[in-house]
Amino acid sequence: MEEQYISSDFKLGILGGGQLGKMLTLAASNWDIKTVVLDPSKECSAAHTCNEFVLGDFNDFNTVYEFGKKVDLITIEIENVNVEALKKLKQEGKKVLPCPDKLEIIKDKGLQKEFYENNQLPTSKFQLFSSEADIVKAVENQEIQLPFVQKLRKEGYDGRGVKVVENTNDLKDLLKGASLIEEKVTLKKELSVIVARSSNGEVKSFPVVEMEFNPQANLVEYLICPASISETIEEKAEKLAIDVVKSLDFVGLLAVEMFLDENDEILINEIAPRPHNSGHHTIESVVTSQYEQHLRAILGLPLGSTALKIPSIMVNVLGEPGFEGKVKYQGLKECLATEGVKLHVYGKKVTKPFRKMGHITILDKDLDNARKKADYIKEHFKVIA
Ligand code: ADP
């Protein structure tokens, strides 16, 4: 018999209660699917949007194991979770999606790179190192050449754990710990394609998004959909995302971040096994949101249409530099008076410089207009303390 998820006792467990978790619980709530969230902070974004909140550390074996036993299906909104506990739960017959083996590969940028290489998927050339001293030695012995990019194998995010090494001077500040170094790519554009694969094998990709970075914060500033790229590149990027999800035999939502280089070659930068910052706009600008698609994929339901309804620019609402403390929002009227603006506030109580506090999606059939509105909003809508 088909399993009943809707308006039933079925419980979807989510490891992590950040903004991605919040938006996932909202999508589940639209279908009256019960959610249980595990997070170490009782003030996390999803604590008040889920049906049941469990306070605890998603990196602790016992906490994750006990949490898993209480729910029917476990999924994640963050990959830095205790994979061993998920493996044990899976062995004991619990449904865990995405599969813990895949999370293990994705959590480690070294294993990720090896996976691309073993599956003939395009990525920049790389080498693994167990310590920063070994990198210095390799440079001295002329086994590797400057410039290069050093990345910690584990637990880097939002640009932390990434270091561009331009010259021998930079070797003093290498990141400590097991890392990889890779060729520094001359970036023409940074692209992202979110793709979903259902447990029944169906695959669908979302339209290509172009990511623009704030050089000061090294955080994504504007996410533009559709990306301004040729049809050929668009098709290539979508095909590559589909190749990755299939090669990995992955079930759920996978975000594939890519580089478009000076020769119009596409290289995979990294992947994320969950809803992604580059998919927030799908809530309003695509027929099916990434959050609904993730639910469809892990529940083995038919995937939804990923047709673009209207172009959009997504702006992360970041904590203003120089402010730390109880959050206040300034310029709400200017923001909401702008046509086509959709505001999402994550509900974090405390702001810090560059902390992701929310996002704004600007819908406009003309992307030049959308950009003007985005600039206006960035100037007027501020997160202060
Ligand atoms: P994180 O996992 O912290 O998001 P990324 O691996 O995505 O880190 O790197 C962060 C940013 O650093 C990228 O978006 C890109 O702008 C830059 N970067 C990363 N790797 C390279 C590279 N090989 N060549 C050039 N720039 C890079």
**Ligand 1 within 6 A of 157 CB?**
yes
Single out the residue of 85, 86, 115 nearest to residue 98, CA to CA: 86
Residue 157 CA: nearest ligand 1 atom is: 3
Between the CA of 110 and the centroid of ligand 1 the distance, in Å, is: 14
Does 243 share its domain with 331? yes
Structure confidence at residue 336 (pLDDT): 97
Best residue for ligand 1 mutational test, from 182, 219, 267, 269 (most atoms within 8 Å of Cβ):
269
Q: Are residues 139 and 179 in the same domain?
A: yes
pLDDT, position 98: 98
Same domain, 170 and 196: no
Please report where in the chains the tokens 């007027």 appear, as a residue. 380
pLDDT tens-digit series, residues 331-378: 999 999 999 999 999 999 999 998 999 999 999 999 999 999 999 999
Centroid of ligand 1 to alpha carbon of 312 (angstroms)? 24
- 197, 328: one domain: yes
**Which SS3 state, helix, strand or coil, does residue 244 take?**
helix
**What's the CA-to-centroid distance between 193 and ligand 1, angstroms?**
16
Looking at the fold, whether 228 and 154 belong to one and the same domain comes out as no
The three-state secondary structure class of 155 is coil
Q: Which amino acid is at 324?
A: E
pLDDT for the residue 1: 52
Pocket test for ligand 1, best of 106, 149, 218 (most atoms within 8 A of CB): 149
The verdict on residue 109 lying in a domain is no
Strand partners, 36: 13, 52
Question: What is the residue with the minimal CA distance to atom 2 of ligand 1?
Answer: 157
Contact 70, 13 (CB under 8 A): yes
Q: Whose Cα sits closest to atom 13 in ligand 1? A: 159
DSSP string computed for 9-30? S-EEEEE--SHHHHHHHHHHHH
147 lines ligand 1 (CB under 6 A): no
In this predicted structure, what is the pLDDT of residue 38?
Answer: 98
Examine residue 114 and state whether it is found in any structural domain, yes or no.
no
- 242 with 311, same domain: the answer is yes
DSSP string, 243-269: HHHHHTT--EEEEEEEEEETTS-EEEE
Domain shared by 193 and 335, yes or no: yes
Domain presence at residue 104? no
Q: Is 190 in the pocket of ligand 1 (CB under 6 A)?
A: yes
Q: Which of 138, 168, 183 is the last residue of a domain?
A: 183
Structurally, how many domains does the chain consist of? 3
Residues 196 and 260 in one domain: yes
CA nearest neighbour of 274 among 45, 5, 75, 84: 75
In a domain, 3, yes or no: no
**Distance of CA 159 from the midpoint of ligand 1 (Å):** 7
Three-state DSSP at 186 gives coil
Cα 269 to ligand 1 centre (Å): 7
Using one digit for the tens of pLDDT, what is the confidence trace for 226-273? 999 999 999 999 999 999 999 999 999 999 999 999 999 999 999 999
Same domain, 156 and 300: no
Per 3-state DSSP, the chain is made up of helix, strand and coil in percentages (nearest 5) of 30, 30, 40
Taking alpha carbons only, the member of 269, 271, 267 closest to residue 248 is: 271
Same domain, 255 and 339: yes
| pLDDT at residue 217, rounded to an integer | 65
Residue pair 6/31 in contact (Cβ under 8 Å)? The answer is yes
* Cβ 182 under 6 angstroms from ligand 1: yes
Evaluate: CB of 158 within 6 angstroms of ligand 1: yes
C-alpha count within 13 angstroms, C-beta hemisphere, residue 78? 22
Ligand 1 pocket, mutate which of 113, 145, 162 (most atoms under 8 A from CB): 162
SS3 357: strand
Compute the distance from residue 138 Cα to the ligand 1 centre, in Å.
Answer: 22
155 and 89 within one domain: no
- C-alpha 36/C-alpha 66 separation (Å) is 13
pLDDT recorded at residue 220: 79
* Angstrom distance (rounded) from CA 383 to CA 241: 35
Helix and strand numbers (H, E) in the chain are 11, 22
Domain span holding position 160: 125-183
Residue 321's contacts (CB-CB under 8 Å, 6 or more residues apart) are 353, 354
185 lines ligand 1 (CB under 6 A): yes
Q: Give the neighbor-by-neighbor strand order of the sheet with 95-96.
A: 52-55, 34-39, 11-15, 73-76, 95-96
306 lines ligand 1 (CB under 6 A): no
Q: What is the CATH number of the domain that holds 244?
A: 3.30.470.20
Peptide bond between residue 98 and the one before it cis (omega within 30 degrees of 0): yes
CATH number at residue 140: 3.30.1490.20
Q: Is 159's C-beta closer than 6 angstroms to any atom of ligand 1?
A: yes
Closest ligand 1 atom to the C-alpha of 213? 16
Successive 10-residue mean pLDDT values, the chain, 385 residues: 86 98 98 98 97 98 98 97 98 98 97 98 98 95 95 82 93 94 96 96 97 77 96 98 98 98 97 97 98 97 98 96 96 96 97 94 98 96 97
In a domain? residue 6: no
| Residues 257 and 336 both lie in one domain | yes
What CATH number has the domain bearing residue 54?
A: 3.40.50.20
Distance CA 278, CA 356 (A): 13
Distance 168 CA to ligand 1 centre (A): 20
